[in-house]
Amino acid sequence: MKKFIFVWFSLISALLAEIHVVTTYPYLAEIAKEVGGEGVRVKSLASPKFDPHFILPKPSLIPALRKADLLVINGAGLEIGWLPPLIKRANNPKIRPGGEGFVDASRVVDLLGKTHAVSRAYGDVHPEGNPHYALDPHNVLPIAALIERKLETIDPASKRRYRENFDRFSREWREFLKDFDAKMARCRGKKVVQYHELYNYLLHRYGMESTGTIEPLPGIAPSSKHTVELIGMMKKEGVDTILQDVYHESKTARFIASKTEAKVVVLPHDVGAVEGADTLRKFYETVAERLCR
Amino acid sequence: MKKIMIASIVCVAALYGAESDIEALKTQMHMQQEVIEKLQHRVEELERRDLKKQERELDARIERAESFSGSFDQSAFLPSISLVADMSVLGRNVGNEAYENYEIPGFLSNPGEIPFNPKRGFNLNYGELGISATVGPYFDVDSAFHIEKDGLHIGELYVTTRTLPYHLRMKAGKFKSEFGVINAKHQHAWNFTNIPLVFETFFGPGGLGDEGMQMQWVAPTENYLMAGVEAMQGSNGRSFGDTDKINLWTGYLKGGADFGESGTAVAGLTYMRGRNPHGITHIYGGDLTLKTLFGSYSALTWQSELLYRDKEGTGDQAGLYTELIYDYNQQWAGGARYDLLFKNVGDLPEDLDRYTVMLQYRPFEFSKLRLQYTYDRSKWIEGDRKDIQELLLGLTIEAGSHGAHAF
């Protein structure tokens, strides 16, 4: 019976000859779809509604990893709390770190905030650097190029198609970046406070300044002492914007807003995190619209 | 080439014979000549500089090489190391000596050594040293050593394959059996400080762990389906204990499915067959876990397991536990568990149960304070049934490299 199922399954998969790409987060899936085009099935493991650090490693995520030909991860420690046991249990040697079908997108990105002093006394720090680089649209093309190269390696028969897809996407994205950069230029010099150091790449790219975080240390819940200090700092520095993500509590942000007259801006951290941000372009456009009106 | 070009230009100019044109061409040529010379000069200059730079770099490299001592440095290959410590302060309505000899009629005549929270007052339960590494392309190694008062014990030490085909994975060494939900988890990952009664009486306070081999296979289905087989020595004396050869075989099936974006269910079935000194032991098990997420940090989990044992020489016995855990946020969680041994041999009591509630506070991901109250109706102290009440404040810390939590 098992044999029959196996033969039947390999027959079906040979007939379809589809390449299965699994990504950890939705934005990576969107990039993979652009490069892969038809004939590549892409699935994202994490839902954009949840904190990317704390995805529930439920067994229902295993079947996708089991049949994946390529696994694209964000890297820089963002998946350390949930992905390793899933990879281990998927029993798929291709997508193990170091395997032919494993790729860590953070390797083609210049990471910000590499800390030299690493200790858990500083909270949940990432020694590799800040992993939330998805917020900078200029990181999209290097990642797309990396995925394209990987697809060529695992599926050489469709090499030309991937090249063409990448070239087209690359042209379109450069156009998009021109518009986007122009829109974001209006925000230059803006001072903001954020919950977690989630938007650093965006702020850094477009000349904005993160003056503080609502959490006192990465991964540590807000304390009243820290909140009071933050309010004092914001008044002194004239900070008028609080960046809030979709998965942390927003009570503290609203409290700070009521004391400082700053406004709370809910920004998506990934494709699909807020309504209307359901494609790669719309994700960044939503960020620009909400932040730089 | 250049010369030919210039010559031909000159020729062409001469043929046409216009003198003024020749003059103009001459000046132009002269200017071009100058540009070319300048460029040549710059190229030479750059080459010189490049050569100098290369020399300097080589010098620096030689200098570093002369004083290099790290040829055999392997610190980059250091395995992941973690230290878990668990301790408590405890109050109980039974004296320590009397408690150490409790009895659960039909199930347990003596608890043996109680590893977790045995005494009233202070308990340093254990330090667990975890070392794990990738051995090479083909194997991973994981281990958990328990540092106890009387020495170092191998809790787990096993090798796992990395590259088996057909979606298979094998494990060999000493490990905790992966049947059901709670058994494979270490004490510091449990929701309550003690293992459910049915696990304690069938396998001991740490669950079933033994020397053996395991094979797991993930099915090519849309929903999660996994089958596992384990062969073990059978050294667990409470249910097996005949260790003359490989004497314990375990098989299990686990499946899982999602309900929408926030709901998930996992269920499992287990069968074990082993030898005890008086014959064969069969154990049948089932488990069900339902979880619903309210956000990234908040969830409700309902988890239950049932075990039925048919042990030759003893008889048929069974028990279950069911627990509900509410994670309010990253810091606070609370939960309640009901624990019951509901089938016993002969005329022995079948209402051996226990109620446990807990409140848990995590100041940070890797530390946990837990307040737990237990009302235990399963135990006989000095020959009489005694309802035991216990209040415990426990502290668990996990330092160093930290493995991700499995579901």
The crossing angle, in degrees rounded to 10, of helices A159-185 and A26-36 is: 130
Q: How far is B182 from chain A (nearest CA, A)?
A: 15
Cβ A240 vs Cβ A16: under 8 Å: no
Q: Name the band, by pLDDT with cuts 50, 70 and 90, for residue B12.
A: low
- How far apart, in whole angstroms, are the C-alpha atoms of residue A43 and residue A201? 25
Taking contacts as CB-CB distances below 8 angstroms, the residues of chain A near B254 are: 59
Residues 6+ apart with CB under 8 A from B253: B225, B226, B227, B228, B268, B269
Residue B20, pLDDT score: 77
CA distance A148 to chain B (A): 25
Instruction: Give the residue on B whose Cα is nearest the Cα of A118.
Output: B400
Q: Is there a contact between B133 and B79 (Cβ–Cβ < 8 Å)?
A: yes
Beta bridge partners of B287: B268, B305
Chain B residue numbers with beta carbons less than 8 Å from the beta carbon of A84 are: 403-404
pLDDT tens-digit map of B180-200? 999 999 999 999 999 999 999
CA-nearest residue of chain A to B168? A91
Using a CB–CB cutoff of 8 Å, tell me whether B164 touches chain A.
Answer: yes
B264/A58 CB distance under 8 A: yes
Report the distance separating Cα B25 and Cα B191, nearest Å.
94
Show Cβ contacts of residue B51 under 8 Å, excluding neighbours closer than 6 positions: none
Residue A88 C-alpha, separation from nearest chain B C-alpha, in angstroms: 8
Cβ proximity of B220 and B226 under 8 Å: no
- What value does the CA radius of gyration of chain A take, rounded to a whole number of Å? 21
Contact residues on chain A for B137, CB-CB shorter than 8 A: 98
pLDDT tens digit sequence for B50-91 = 999 999 999 999 988 888 888 888 888 899 999 999 999 999
Instruction: Please state, rounded to an integer, the average pLDDT across all residues of chain B.
Output: 93
In this prediction, residue A119 carries a pLDDT of 74
User: Is A181 buried (19+), middle (13-18) or exposed (0-12) by CB count in 10 A?
Assistant: middle
A91–B216 CB contact, under 8 Å: yes
Round to whole Å and give the CA distance between A266 and A201: 16
pLDDT over 90, % of chain B: 83
Would you call A54 and B296 a contact, using CB atoms and an 8 Å cutoff?
yes
d(CA A12, CA A33): 22
Q: How far is CA B263 from each of CA A106, A160, B157, B239, B323, rounded to the nearest angstrom?
A: 31, 42, 34, 36, 17
- CA distances for B340 relative to A31, B107, B354, B357, angstroms: 52, 12, 6, 15
- Helix (H) or strand (E) segment spanning residue A40: strand A40-44
Q: For residue A224, count other CB atoms closer than 10 A to its CB.
A: 9
Q: Which chain A residues are closer than 8 Å to B264 by Cβ?
A: 56, 58-60
**Higher-confidence residue: B197 or B49?**
B197
One-letter-per-residue 3-state SS of chain B: CHHHHHHHHHHHHHHHCCHHHHHHHHHHHHHHHHHHHHHHHHHHHHHHHHHHHHHHHHHHHHHHHHCCCCCCCCHHHCCEEEEEEEEEEEEECCCHHHHCCCEECCCECCCCCCCCCCCCEEEEEEEEEEEEEECCCCEEEEEEEEEECCEEEEEEEEEEECCCCCCEEEEEEEEECCCCCCCCCCHHHCCCCCCCHHHHHHHCCCCCEEEEEEEEEECCCCCEEEEEEEEECCCCCCCCCCCCCCCEEEEEEEEEEEECCCEEEEEEEEEEEEEECCEEEEEEEEEEEEEEECCCCCEEEEEEEEEEEEECCCEEEEEEEEEEEEECCCCEEEEEEEEEEEECCCCCCCCEEEEEEEEEEEEECCEEEEEEEEEECCCEECCEECCEEEEEEEEEEEEECCCCCCC
| CA-based nearest residue in chain A for residue B137 | A98
Chain A residues whose CB is inside 8 A of the B82 CB are none
Tokens standing for residue B198: 């049915």
Collapsed DSSP state (helix, strand, coil) of residue A282: helix
Give pLDDT tens digits for B319-329: 999 999 999 99
Asked if B169 lies within 8 A of A92 by C-beta distance, the reply is no
Contact across the interface for A66 and B405, Cβ inside 8 Å = no
Which amino acid appears at position B66 of this protein? E
- Residue stretches of chain A with pLDDT short of 70: 1-17, 116-118
Put simply, whether B220 touches A (Cβ < 8 Å) is yes
Domain ranges of chain B: 2-66, 92-119+164-400
Task: DSSP letter for A6, please.
Answer: H
Could you tell me which chain A residue has the CA closest to the CA of B140? A88
A145 to chain B, closest Cα gap in Å: 27
- Minimal CA separation from A86 to chain B, in Å: 8
CA A18 vs CA A37, A38, B306: distances in Å: 11, 9, 42
State how far residue A176 is from chain B, nearest Cα, in angstroms: 32
Task: Quote the CA–CA distance of A226 and B407 in Å, as a whole number.
Answer: 34
Of A83, A91, A120, the CB nearest to B167: A91
Instruction: Show the CA angle centred on residue B208, arms to residues B204 and B210, nearest 5°.
Output: 120
Q: Are B314 and B282 in contact (CB under 8 A)?
A: no
Cβ-defined contact of B404 to A82 (cutoff 8 Å): yes
Cross-chain residue pair B365–A50, CB shorter than 8 Å? no
Instruction: List Cα–Cα distances, B103 to B153, B350, B379, B380, in angstroms.
Output: 26, 14, 6, 5
What is the reported pLDDT for A15?
46
Cβ B218–A81 below 8 Å, yes or no? no
Q: Which residue of B254, B330, B404 is in closest CB contact with A221?
A: B330
- Sign, CA torsion A88/A89/A90/A93: positive
d(CA B37, CA B34): 5
Contact yes or no for B240/B224 (Cβ under 8 A): no
One-letter amino acid at A275 equals E
Give the torsion sign (CA, B239, B241, B244, B245): positive
**Residue A153 distance to chain B (closest CA, Å):** 19
User: Which tokens belong to A221?
Assistant: 């819940």
Phi-psi region of B117 (alpha: psi -120 to 50; beta: other; left: phi over 0): left
Min Cα distance A8 → chain B (Å) is 11
Q: Do B366 and A249 touch (CB under 8 A)?
A: no
Q: Which residue has the tokens 């003893």?
A: B314
B223 vs A63, A92, A123: nearest CB: A63
Q: Collect all residues of chain B within an 8 Å Cβ-Cβ radius of residue A123.
A: 364
Q: Which two tokens stand for residue B367?
A: 């530390």
Nearest chain A residue to B294, by CA:
A50
Give the distance, in angstroms, between the CA of residue B377 and the centroid of all CA atoms in the same chain: 34
Q: Which of A67, A89, A124 faces B220 most closely, judged by CB atoms?
A: A67
CB-nearest to B365 from A90, A219, A247 is A219
B260 Cβ under 8 Å from any chain A Cβ = no
Length of chain A, please?
293
CATH number, span B92-119+164-400: 2.40.160.10
- In chain A the domains, ranked by start, together with CATH numbers, are 2-177 (3.40.50.1980), 186-291 (3.40.50.1980)
The amino acid occupying position A8 is W
Helix, strand or coil for residue A254? Answer: helix
A-B interface: how many C-beta pairs under 8 angstroms?
A: 110
Question: Chain B: nearest CA to A125, how far in angstroms?
Answer: 12
Nearest-CB residue to B365 (from A67, A85, A124): A124
In a mutagenesis test of the B interface, which of A12, A58, A86, A89 is the best target, namely the one with the most B β-carbons within 10 Å?
A: A58
B284 backbone dihedrals φ, ψ, rounded to 5°? -115, 135
Count Cβ atoms within 10 A of the Cβ of residue A38 and give its class: 0-12 exposed, 13-18 middle, 19 or more buried: exposed
Q: Is the CB of B296 less than 8 angstroms away from the CB of A247?
A: yes
Nearest to A60 among B166, B167, B257 (CB): B257
Residues 6+ apart with CB under 8 A from A277: A268, A271, A283, A285, A286, A287
Cα–Cα dist A55/A40, whole Å:
25
